[in-house]
Amino acid sequence: MKRLLALALCLVALPCAALAPAADEVVVGSITPLSGKLAVYGEGFQQAMLLALDEVNAAGGINGKLMRIHYEDNNSTAKDSVSAIQKLITVNKLPVIFGPAASSNFLAVCPIAQENKAILIGAESAAADITKCGDYVFRIFPSDELQGKGAAELAVSMGYKEVVLTYINNDWGVGLGRVFKDNFVKAGGKIIDEFSHDEGKTDYRTEILRIKKHSPRAAVNLTYIKEGATMLKQSYETGLKTQWLMGSASKSPKLVELAGEAAEGVIGTYPTFSQETPQYKHFKEVWAKKYPEKKVPVFGEYNYDMVHIIAKALRASKSYASQDIRAALIEAAKGYMGVTGDKTFDKNGDVGAVYGKWTVKTGNIADYRP
């Protein structure tokens, strides 16, 4: 029993000993999916953030102090996101935290951030509900409210009056599906059939047959990369001929890599920004220099902008107390033109966006021009 007690004491003492804050740096927290099902994306987010961080520190850091990002893994789950934010707020005592990917994880932590007046910023969480999180929650990424509208407008503008709607059964897909449906029906469209499909399955033939049964001219499929690729491939085999309309989350070279010829001709919407701006050209250049063998990851530009905006706010802030940083952040973002365009926050801490259309043409993702 004594040995057990000693063991327990060690377990308790270790976490407390591991903390030693350095005075000459400014630390920002980040909850990033480094493991679990979103780890595929997490690595890219991290690389984009580190790229911006290098630039910030090369340009003198935060008024002479080095800026550092403290990463906490959230295992891609809500439970671990909550643990991670509790730790960042209470143990590391960080006033600014980059929120986790996946809207469900973000929504799980945002009441905690709001309650404790810690600034929470997201670079890839799209759910419309996040708008209501509170005045300490911001995001660099546009709300799905905008994308749902964009997708509905796309379908209407292409002359599709009746579509089959399917969406991935997770927070993102369900939320976006709802906004799409509302807007599409309002614009006079009709949803012939609507169903969700599970995440991470390998066989979607039955789902595809269900679409095929209606032989619709267009099918709206709001899904992720791997699910999208599998569905495209299998519908190609099944001989389903329909115009696929997709969302932003499946816009990736990986989709084409996995689905091959079956991805040809897909059209989708995505929040866009001009690739002609000097900011974008600069980003492309530094990315290629730091990670020569890697393509720019999904949402990489947003993560890059996020770090730069925060750095700007921290430099201008009166102190490192969160209410001062918050005021400085709103000021810093006003009219800020980042890689991803104008990042001025509205009163809910959301940014606006322009929606573009993408398509797959001869094995490449390209902008869609009718």
Partner 1 sequence: MSGYYLQLMTNGIIAGAVYALFAVGLTLVYGVFRFINFAHGELIAWGAYLTLAFSALIPFGAAIFPAVAVTVLIALAQERYVYAPLRKKAGITLLIASIGLSYFLRNGLRLLWGSDLKSFGFEAARGLVFFGITVSRTQIAMFLAALIFLGFVWGLHKFTMLGKGLRAAADSLELAEIVGIDMKKIGRAVWIISAVFAASGGILIAIDTNLEPMMGIANLLKAFAAVLLGGAGNVWGALLGGLFIGIAENLGVAFFSPGYKDAISFALIIAILLFKPTGIFAIMKGMR
Partner 2 sequence: MDYFYHILVIALIYVIFASSLNLELGYAGLYNFGHVAFFAIGAYTSALLSLAGFSPAASMAIALLCSAASGALLAMPALRLSGDYFGIATLAFGELARLFALNERWLTKGPMGLPGIPRPLGIEAGISGIPVYFIFTVTITVAVLLILRKTTMSPFGRALKVVREDEFVARAFGKNVFSLKVRAVAMGSLFAGLAGALYAHFVTYISPYDFSLNETILVLLCVVLGGKGTLSGPVLGAFVIIFFQELLRFLPIPTDWGRFVSPIQGMIYGAVLVILMLKRPEGIIPEHRTLQC
Q: Where are the beta strands (DSSP E) in 169-292?
A: 190-197, 218-222, 243-246, 267-272
Least Å from the CB of residue 29 to partner 1: 24
Least Å from the CB of residue 201 to partner 2: 12
Residue 165 or 259: the one with the smaller Cβ distance to partner 2 is: 165
Least Å from the CB of residue 213 to partner 1: 5
Least Å from the CB of residue 366 to partner 1: 20
Binding partner of residue 18 among partner 2, partner 1, none, CB under 5 to 8 Å per kind?
A: partner 2
* Ramachandran sector of residue 64 (left: φ over 0; alpha: ψ -120 to 50; beta: rest): left
Angle, helix 225-238 to helix 205-213, in steps of 10 degrees:
60
Binding partner of residue 200 among partner 2, partner 1, none, CB under 5 to 8 Å per kind?
A: partner 1
Question: Would you tell me which residues interact with partner 2 (CB under 8 A)?
Answer: 4, 7-8, 11-12, 14-16, 18, 34-36, 39, 42-43, 46, 50, 71-73, 75, 77-79, 82-84, 86-87, 89-91, 104, 107-108, 111-112, 114-116, 127, 129, 169-171, 173-175, 196
338: tokens are 């980042």
Q: How many CB atoms lie within 10 A of CB 116?
A: 16
CA 195 to chain centre: 24
Residue 229 or 365: the one with the smaller Cβ distance to partner 1 is: 229
- Cα(197)–Cα(235) distance, integer angstroms: 14
79-87 long-range Cβ contacts below 8 angstroms, 24+ apart: 81/31, 81/105, 81/106, 81/108, 81/109, 82/108, 82/109, 82/112, 84/31, 84/109, 85/29, 85/31, 85/109, 85/112, 85/113, 85/118, 86/112
Least Å from the CB of residue 193 to partner 1: 11
Residue 39 or 66: the one with the smaller Cβ distance to partner 2 is: 39
- Cα(82)–Cα(31) distance, integer angstroms: 10
Residue 197 or 343: the one with the smaller Cβ distance to partner 2 is: 197
Residue 242 or 272: the one with the smaller Cβ distance to partner 1 is: 242
Binding partner of residue 294 among partner 2, partner 1, none, CB under 5 to 8 Å per kind?
A: none
Least Å from the CB of residue 48 to partner 2: 13
Question: Would you tell me which residues interact with partner 1 (CB under 8 A)?
Answer: 35-37, 39-40, 169, 195-198, 200-203, 205-207, 209-210, 212-213, 225-226, 229-230, 232-234, 236-239, 258-262
Binding partner of residue 339 among partner 2, partner 1, none, CB under 5 to 8 Å per kind?
A: none
Residue 130 or 255: the one with the smaller Cβ distance to partner 1 is: 255
184: tokens are 């599409």
Binding partner of residue 206 among partner 1, partner 2, none, CB under 5 to 8 Å per kind?
A: partner 1
Residue 167 or 368: the one with the smaller Cβ distance to partner 1 is: 167
Q: How many CB atoms lie within 10 A of CB 302?
A: 24
Residue 192 or 330: the one with the smaller Cβ distance to partner 1 is: 192
Residue 158's φ and ψ, nearest 5 degrees, are -85, 0
Least Å from the CB of residue 92 to partner 1: 27
As beta bridge partners, residue 65 has 62
Q: Which of 190, 262, 266 is nearest to 222 (CA)?
A: 266
- Cα(169)–Cα(41) distance, integer angstroms: 19
Binding partner of residue 79 among partner 1, partner 2, none, CB under 5 to 8 Å per kind?
A: partner 2
Binding partner of residue 5 among partner 1, partner 2, none, CB under 5 to 8 Å per kind?
A: none
- Cα(120)–Cα(328) distance, integer angstroms: 14
Least Å from the CB of residue 47 to partner 1: 16
